[in-house]
């Protein structure tokens, strides 16, 4: 986990052991999120198009970390940890991107404003991770469970790291439709305050085996 060449918060590279777990193949969509709102388990995103049928298969956006966590709880699952997200994205061979080490391009992901907006989840099968997870680079940044700590990798436990115990921001992973090559690397660590929704933020869920 981590990088030898990236930002300081991606270092040091360290080996992590994770118990078995599941992670969503795609980001949660507007249609899926609407079910939670209808059932009373979620609050509406601050987005005029989340109920628009033209965007039903696009990732839900304008959801903050608390809304993402609430949806996963309603669905009987949870947000993945940062370590779980990174392993699902890059496998165990240290690859730079979900598909390998070759540079990103518009055939593998929605990034670098090449589309200029979100795209339906799963549109880029050639960008799949070693485990078949889709859109782990580009489309929308994804909230994960951990508090962000720029120095956490230097003290991370080997087994099932859960992140630091407290903080002021939560980790975001994967880059978005507007991100450049650097931000869609599988090791890149973004962060924001947990009450901030944005048009480039979404999530996927996971669960323990």
Instruction: With a cut of 50, list the residues of the chain below it in pLDDT.
Output: none
**pLDDT of amino acid 177:** 98
**pLDDT value at residue 6:** 84
pLDDT digits (tens, 9 = 90+) for 13-71: 999 999 999 999 999 999 999 999 999 999 999 999 999 999 999 999 999 999 999 99
Sign of torsion over alpha carbons 137, 141, 146, 149: positive
Its pTM stands at 0.97
Crossing angle, helix 30-38 and helix 65-74, to 10 degrees? 70
Q: What is the pLDDT of residue 5?
A: 86
């Amino acid at each position: 986990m981590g990088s030898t060449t990236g930002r300081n918060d991606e270092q040091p590279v360290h080996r992590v052991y994770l118990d078995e777990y599941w992670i969503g193949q795609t980001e949660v969509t507007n249609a899926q999120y609407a079910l939670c709102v209808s059932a009373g388990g979620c609050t509406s995103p601050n987005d005029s198009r989340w109920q628009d049928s033209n965007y039903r298969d696009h990732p839900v956006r304008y959801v903050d970390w608390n809304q993402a966590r609430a949806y996963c709880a309603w669905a009987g699952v949870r947000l993945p940890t940062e370590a779980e997200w990174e392993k699902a994205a890059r496998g165990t061979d240290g690859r730079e991107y979900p598909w390998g080490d070759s540079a990103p391009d518009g055939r593998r992901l929605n990034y670098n404003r090449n589309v200029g907006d979100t795209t339906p989840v799963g549109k880029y099968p050639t960008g799949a991770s070693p485990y078949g997870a889709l859109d782990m680079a580009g489309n929308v940044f994804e909230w994960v469970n951990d508090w962000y700590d720029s120095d956490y990798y230097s003290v991370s436990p080997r087994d099932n790291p859960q992140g630091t115990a407290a903080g002021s921001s939560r980790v975001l992973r994967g880059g978005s439709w507007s991100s450049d090559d650097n931000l869609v690397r599988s090791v890149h660590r973004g962060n924001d305050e947990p009450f901030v929704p944005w048009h480039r933020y979404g999530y996927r869920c996971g669960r323990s085996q």
